[in-house]
A and B are shown apart, each in its own frame.
Chain A
Amino acid sequence: MSGRRQPLDPHLVERLWRTPAPKPAYDVVVVGAGGHGLSTAYYLAKNHGITNVAVLERGWLGGGNMGRNTTVVRSNYLWDQSAAIYEFSLKLWESLEDELDFDVLLSQRGVVALAHSTHDVREIKRRVSANHANGIDAEWLEPAELKRFVPIINISPEVRYPVLGGSLQRRGGIARHDHVAWGYAHAADRMGVDIIQNCEVTDFLRDGDRITGVQTTRGPIAAGNVALAAAGHTSTLADRLGIRLPIQSHPLQALVSELIEPFLDTVIMSNTVHVYVSQADKGELVMGAGIDAFNSYAQRGSFLIIERMLAAAIELFPIFSQVRVLRTWAGIVDVCPDASPIIGPLPLGNLYVNTGWGTGGFKATPASGWVYAHTIATGQPHELNAPFQLDRFRSGALVDEHGAAGVAH
């Protein structure tokens, strides 16, 4: 028997975090208490012994994309650079409950990506083969094999875009997003990190070409290093310094159904018809749609996107037809031109940026914090985020995950 301890249920933790007042100065100020900001603070403390850290949050911790994503975890990205960082992330996920001593409800139930055209088949097989070359588990399933793995799926050739097969990453799955945010917050807080909510960064303190702190709604805070982790709002913060980041923000919608007895025990994604779905442990279907084409910071999208996504979902899963939609919402995804993130220093001293995760942010949470903390602590990128520097948009060394992955979530 494994000696693994049952991780803590957050509902049984006496205190998850303190509510500290901001101190006048910190070694590192992280801007944004989403998953990436919190994991960054945790790994700064854990891996680098830097505990005089504040995480500043304009709202409530975990309340942005961290609290409104569809909780999919996987590492089957196409390009070597993406595969490396996401696979490192998945390995961190696999030990995260022990690491944080916190129940994040990781369920490695498998993630399936469906092919609906000969083009899809070629591109998904390409990804499976690339995954193998990168040591990542991946399988190609023919329609009949898919049907055995996901009995409720409709593989009839009669539908408009029939299922021609799909890839499976068995180690992929879902985790509970809130628990991940709370787990990192709890662990960071215990090591002395101050998580300061309702504290919005409004400007920067600078000394020539060096950043010395931030101005906030709760007064100025000095900082040895300032690390931005504010997703789409990172670009509006950088604007204040005259730095134009290549980030576009779009609404990405999702929904949940009422609680249904379990009938779907894996994650299914289809980029061609823009739907992805899983069933959470409580019983609700969690579904994601395609991106709204327009730019927006309002956390709502067009209802038409929801309607078309459900038409596609019922085509694939007729059993969804009578299941009722309970709630829809939108997150705002921050997308780089190559659909890959930027993690590294900005051209001002002591200022770092971590943004542009698009639809991949949640699954990257552990690795993103790990390599960002490394970059801040050492002043140099970790080998895993070295390919994801801002200067790639000048050099042309893009890591373009648009092509084969489409709107991969």
Chain B
Amino acid sequence: MSGWRLAHGGLIDRSRPVFFTFDGRRLAGFSGDTVASALLANGVDVVARSIKLGRPRGIVAAGTEEPNALIAVEPGLALRRATEVELVDGLAVRSVSGRAPAPAIDETPSEHVWHHADVVVVGAGAAGLTAAQDAVAAGGRVVLLEGGHAAGPLPDGLVDAADFVFLPRTVAVGRFDSNMIVAHERRRGTPGANTAARDRLWHIRARDVVLATGAVERPLVFADNDRPGIMLAGSVGVYLQRYGVAAGRRAVVFTANDSAYVVARDLQAAGVDVVAIVDTRVRPGPTADAGGIEVLSGHVVAGTTGDEGLASVLIVPRDGDADRASPTVVEADLLAVSGGWDPALRLLAHTGARLRYQPSAGTYGVTEVPPRVRITGLAADVNGGVGAFSTLDPVWLVPAPDGSLDRHFVDLQRDATAADIRRAVDAGMRSPEHVKRFTTIGTGNDQGRTSGTNELGVLAALLGTTLEQLGPTTFRTPLVPIPMRVLGGPYRGELFDPVRTTPIHGSHVAAGALFENVGQWKRAWAYPREGESFDDAVLRECRAVREGVGIMDVSTLGKIDVQGPDAGAFVDRVYTNRFSTLKVGSSRYGLMLRADGMVFDDGTATRLADDHFHLTTTTGGAAAVLDWLEEWLQTEWPDLRVRLTSVTDEWAGVAIAGPKSRELLARLAPNLDVSAEAFPFMTVRNEYLSELPARIFRISFSGELSYEVYVKSWYGRALWDAIAAAGADLDVTPYGTEAMHVLRAEKGYVIVGQETDGTVTAADLGLDWMLSKRKWFIGLGALDRPHLTRPDRRQLVGLLPDDPDLHVPEGSALLPSGGLGTAGNVTSSYRSAALGRTFALGLLAGGRARIGSRVDAQVAGWRVPLDIVEPVLWDPQNERRDG
């Protein structure tokens, strides 16, 4: 029990005691403490057991570089560092040795925030505050980020500044291209409380970034350098000044630079018995004021003893093997070490800035600062080797008397030693990246903050090379670990991906529809009645369309408005068939190919005026088709005078399908001549329908007499309800996407994305008649490649099992007559009311020539024989579409 609370001092509030538990022990601290400072104040030496060797470990540092003191915070067991967790009353934490327990589920959403700033200052120490003041004085939007938990009061000039945002407890975790800073803000609140936005993730696009990020102290590598009580000197100073905690009673300071001297004096002044300053240098630097403490210059600590905590320190001259046999043994419970400092510049490395060893600074720094970035304060001093940081004489490895290296710890969290590095070198490894992976040094949750440079120093020593020859391994976002829920943000459930519903959605809900996800859309899948199975509902809906009249919400179809003098030429190029000759008021089915000749999308195009076309796309393909058309228009044909507009959401549509659809339409639009002669197939009319201005297409995806009626989307539900009301006595039946799939499959109509998968040509689908021979279109150039004209390509066929009740699962492989492999697959498979049996569509190698023969499908490990038939099983003569 070595640490203790001073009677005075620190930034803690001694009037507010706080109680917490650590591994079930009830301990006291003060408001303003961290768990780490309170543990030290309570004399807790051992905070964890090491991951591989089970050695006792204590607190080493005061900040995010702490490698040992990981804790799980009750009740959720969130993993944190003891140096980061502010003490609050009732806090309960557990020590973590090695792997953390799986934390509890925490569904609290975080907020994601976007911000633009002229200047972002990272770090609110003295240099950061000055930089922020300067930036505010210069005008503009300024953001100051401070990762710490208890930044001091803001100076005058910042408190009331306009356009200034101060974010304490906010760690900049990454810098991305073009100065985008991502920062994690931990907001106040009781851990575990289900409050809104306990965390925010800031995305700040900055014109300029100022890094006032300070520096991280390095330990020294010597035998048994991992005992509790061996701490970074600067951190010992932080505990003293900030928390009024002395980390021991009898201390030795071991340093390779001047910066630890002030810590030695401060410890002495606070009442700690500082026995000696062991300085690796023969001549300490100009700022090395020992204040009367004995200085052993040109000496090193070669080892330590102790049981659970530190008991004594073994001191030998740095050079002179003769004296190694009898080291000076000094009893101490605190060894404050300083091997040097590394500037905290990892944010720059995230975006590719190269860190190089700078001998004058004794560390890796940047010589080329990226544009619109400035480094200031301690980080700049260390980077440049200025002041106390110019006094470093690096000692990378203090040899043990017996020559062993296996208790020279380099990475405390990973329990990796200099011996591990030597094994890597012996194995033939020369690259620091290999050594990192072999030893796991630097892969802990501190990303090697206190171990990275020492690893390279030891490696250079073992290889007999210099650090200039060895680059640091790559640093990665995030700078400190972030919970996944913070990165995931509020984008859960319906916010994960927008839910799109049609204007008619409410009517489907009221009708008890089941819905399926089609892209972002919720589409009515089927409308089972009370006590009716899904399959029975689909059969009933299909029957209604074939025998009476059905209505379907087709609002989700993609719709693209094409306008301009060159609209006809444009549409000719993007579809395989010709449209420029299409008469105004007429529609035509169209096929689009990718550049490789494979089917990409299908739909209809309708000419509304000479320079105006209305294109429909598949529901799932709407965005991709618009992207595709824009890409061609913008990059290949900028000369075409054509504009494209997505009007998918502008129009709501209802298909009225079935033998009784004409009668129903006539009731709704009494002014419209609905006769087959006056309103022929594949034409469009503008007419009022139940007082709603509508565009009525005579078009069919079921093979029956059918219309698609479109109105402005806000009339959608009125349209649906009007149709339903007008057709009540005709038993008008809403049908869903499943019935639509069955009906179109009975007619052999393909669905892009179901019968096609990016490997299927128009000819494979029997649609080669749609390939114009008299004009160019996208994909034409690929069609004469030899493989695309082979007779054994997979072609669309109908497939009938012997048993009319057997449903062959979609996706089933079609098998070759012998051997391994596939000859095709079942793309669609349904029960048909009209056919009174099950049927399927499939793609089969050389399928068209095999019509009339048999093929086996693989169903649950069995070969199921199927008749190969024409893909059009219903009304092959198209006798029903005119009613």
Name the distance in Å between A238's Cβ and chain B's nearest Cβ.
Answer: 21
- The one of A60, A160, A282 in contact with B433, judged by C-beta atoms closer than 8 angstroms, is A60
- Tell me, yes or no, whether A267 is within 8 Å of chain B by CB: no
Chain B positions within 8 Å of A134 at CB level: 820-822
Least distance between A114 CB and chain B CB atoms (Å): 14
By secondary structure, the A interface counts as mixed
Query: CB-defined interface of B517-547 with A at 8 Å, one 1/0 digit per residue?
Result: 1100000000000000000000000000000
B445 to A, closest residue via Cβ? A258
Given contacts A17-B428, A319-B102, A403-B757, contact A395 B821 (CB under 8 A): no
Q: Is B810 an interface residue (CB 8 A)?
A: yes
Question: Bound complex: CA of A302 vs CA of B821, how far in Å?
Answer: 40
The reply to whether B100 and A160 form a contact with Cβ atoms under 8 Å apart is: no
Interface residues of B in 487-528 (CB under 8 A from A): 487-489, 491-494, 496-497, 499, 516-518
Digitize B475-493: 1 where CB-to-A-CB distance is under 8 Å, 0 elsewhere: 0111001111101110111
**Interface membership of B153, Cβ < 8 A:** no
Instruction: Give A57's nearest chain B residue, CB to CB.
Output: B431
Tell whether A321 is near chain B: CB-to-CB under 8 Å. yes
Tell whether B223 is near chain A: CB-to-CB under 8 Å.
no
Chain A 113-156, CB-CB to B under 8 Å as 1, else 0, gives 00011110111111111101111000000000000000000000
Judge if A337 is at the interface, Cβ distance under 8 Å: yes
Q: How far is the CA of A368 from the CA of B201 in the complex (A)?
A: 43
Q: Is B812's beta carbon under 8 Å from chain A?
A: yes
> Is B105 in the interface zone, CB < 8 Å from A?
yes
A308:B811 contact, CB within 8 angstroms: no
Contact A158-B813, Cβ < 8 Å, known A134-B820, A258-B100: no
Q: CB within 8 A of A321: which of B105, B810, B858?
A: B105
Q: Looking across the interface, which residue of chain A has its beta carbon closest to that of B758?
A: A403
- Are A395 and B787 in contact, with the CB atoms below 8 A? yes
CB nearest to A312 among chain B residues: B496
**B813 with A322: CB separation less than 8 A:** no
- For A133, A315, A325, the residue with the greatest tally of chain B CB atoms inside 10 Å of its CB is A133
In the complex with contacts A60-B431, A259-B100, A311-B785 CB distance below 8 A: no
Contacts of A322 in B (CB 8 A): 76-79, 103-106, 483-485
Partner of B487, one of A132, A133, A306: A306
A310 in contact with B753 (CB, 8 Å) = no
- Could you tell me if A404 and B757 are in contact, using CB atoms closer than 8 angstroms? yes
Residue B835 interfacial (CB < 8 Å): no
B620 and chain A: residue at smallest CB distance = A119
Interface size on B, residues (CB 8 A): 86
Q: Evaluate whether A314 and B757 lie within 8 angstroms (CB atoms) in the complex, with A118-B516, A398-B596 already known.
A: no
Q: Are A395 and B105 in contact (CB under 8 A)?
A: no
Cβ proximity bits A305-344 to B, threshold 8 Å, 1 near / 0 not? 0111011111100111111111111000000010000000
- Encoded as 1 (CB less than 8 Å from any B CB) or 0, chain A from 215 to 226 comes to 000000000000
Residues of A within 8 A of B809 (CB): 125, 129
Give bound CA distance, A286 to B437, whole Å.
Answer: 16
Q: Give the distance to chain B from A329, nearest Cβ to Cβ, in Å.
A: 5
Any B CB within 8 A of the CB of A15: yes
Determine if B484 and A18 form an interchain contact, defined as CB atoms under 8 angstroms apart. Answer: no
A19 contact from B430, B433, B443, Cβ within 8 A: B430
A282 to B437, CA, bound (A): 13
Nearest Cβ on chain B to A185's Cβ, whole angstroms: 9
Contact A307 B489 (CB under 8 A): yes
Interfacial residues of chain B within 747-771, with CB under 8 A of chain A in the complex: 753-754, 757-759
Chain B residues 552-610 with CB under 8 Å of chain A are: 596-597
Q: Is A379 an interface residue (CB 8 A)?
A: no
Is B107 within 8 A of A396, CB to CB? no
Decide yes or no whether B833 CB sits under 8 A from chain A. Answer: no
Interface residues of A in 339-379 (CB under 8 A from B): none
**Known: A261-B101, A283-B99, A321-B484. Contact between A135 and B820, CB under 8 A?**
yes
- A133/B815 in contact, CB under 8 A: yes
The residue in chain A whose Cβ has the minimal distance to the Cβ of B439 is A11
Q: How far is the CA of A103 from the CA of B610 in the complex (A)?
A: 71
- A123-B428 in contact (CB<8A): no
Beyond A130-B825, A298-B352, A307-B489, whether A325 also contacts B484 by CB under 8 A is yes
Across the interface, name the chain B residue whose C-beta is closest to A68: B474
Chain A residue, CB-CB nearest to B437: A178
Given contacts A15-B428, A259-B98, A398-B759, contact A314 B488 (CB under 8 A): yes
Q: Is B174 an interface residue (CB 8 A)?
A: yes
Contact at B105–A319, with CB atoms within 8 Å? yes
Contacts A129-B858, A160-B494; A257 near B820 (Cβ below 8 A): no
B484 and A320: CB pair below 8 A? yes
Of B106, B437, B596, B861, the residue contacting A132 (CB under 8 A) is B861
In the complex, the answer to whether A402 meets B427 with C-beta atoms within 8 Å is no
A135 to B820, CA, bound (A): 7
Distance to closest chain A CB from B303 (angstroms): 25
Q: Are A80 and B821 in contact (CB under 8 A)?
A: yes
Chain B residues near A311: list those with CB within 8 A.
488-489, 491-492, 496
B155 cross-chain contacts in A, Cβ below 8 A: none
Task: With both chains docked as a complex, state the minimum distance between the C-beta of A152 and any C-beta of chain B, in angstroms.
Answer: 9
Contact of B437 among A67, A159, A300, A328 (CB under 8 A): A67
Within 8 A of A (CB), among B95-127: 98-107, 112
Partner of A400, one of B474, B620, B758: B758
- Which of B76, B79, B112: most chain A Cβ within 10 A? B79
Q: Which of A11, A15, A122 contacts B438 (CB 8 A)?
A: A11
Contacts A321-B485, A322-B103; A394 near B785 (Cβ below 8 A): yes
Q: Which residues of A contact B782 (CB under 8 A)?
A: 396
Cβ-defined contact, B182 with A303, below 8 A: yes
Give the contacts of B777-820 with A (CB-CB under 8 A): 782, 785-788, 809-813, 815, 820
Query: Are A324 and B484 in touch, CB under 8 angstroms?
Result: yes
Smallest Cβ distance from A283 to chain B, in angstroms?
4
Instruction: Tell me if B447 counts as interface (CB < 8 A to partner A).
Output: yes
On whether the beta carbons of B811 and A337 are closer than 8 Å, the reply is no
Pair A396/B787 contact, Cβ less than 8 Å = yes
B residues less than 8 Å from A132 (CB atoms):
813, 858, 861
By beta carbon, the residue of chain B nearest A81 is: B821
- A88 in the interface, Cβ–Cβ < 8 Å? no
Interchain CB contact under 8 A, A133 and B596: no
Q: Which chain A residue lies CB-closest to B759?
A: A400
Report whether B105 and A318 are in contact in the complex, using a CB–CB cutoff of 8 Å: yes
Which of chain A's residues have a CB closer than 8 A to the CB of B476? Answer: 327-329
Complexed CA–CA distance, A135 and B822 (Å): 11
Q: Provide the bound-state CA to CA distance between A171 and B627, in Å.
A: 40
- Produce 1/0 per residue, B77-98, CB < 8 A to A: 1110000000000000000001
Are B79 and A258 in contact, with the CB atoms below 8 A?
A: yes
User: CA A210 – CA B876 in complex, angstroms?
Assistant: 60
Interchain CA distance A395-B426 in the complex, whole Å: 51
Give the chain A neighbours of B427 by CB distance below 8 A.
Answer: 10, 13-17
The contact of A158 among B430, B493, B499, by CB within 8 Å, is B493
A299–B350 Cα distance when bound, in Å, is 10
Where the two chains meet, the residues of B that have a C-beta atom closer than 8 Å to any C-beta of A are 51, 76-79, 98-107, 112, 174, 176, 180, 182, 201, 203, 350-352, 423, 426-431, 433-434, 437-438, 443, 445, 447, 474, 476-478, 481-485, 487-489, 491-494, 496-497, 499, 516-518, 596-597, 620, 753-754, 757-759, 782, 785-788, 809-813, 815, 820-822, 825, 858, 861
18 contacts between A and B (CB under 8 A): A11-B438, A13-B427, A14-B426, A124-B811, A132-B813, A259-B51, A259-B99, A300-B176, A307-B489, A311-B489, A313-B488, A324-B482, A325-B478, A325-B483, A327-B447, A396-B786, A398-B596, A400-B759
Known interface pairs A261-B100, A300-B350, A303-B182; 5 further A-B residue pairs with C-beta atoms within 8 A, sorted by A's residue number: A307-B491, A314-B485, A324-B79, A400-B757, A400-B759
By Cβ-Cβ distance, the 4 closest A-B pairs, closest first, are A126-B811, A403-B757, A396-B785, A125-B811
Residues of A within 8 A of B (CB): 10-11, 13-19, 59-61, 63, 67, 80, 116-119, 121-130, 132-135, 158-161, 178, 197, 257-261, 263, 273, 282-283, 298-300, 302-303, 306-308, 310-315, 318-329, 337, 392, 394-398, 400, 402-404
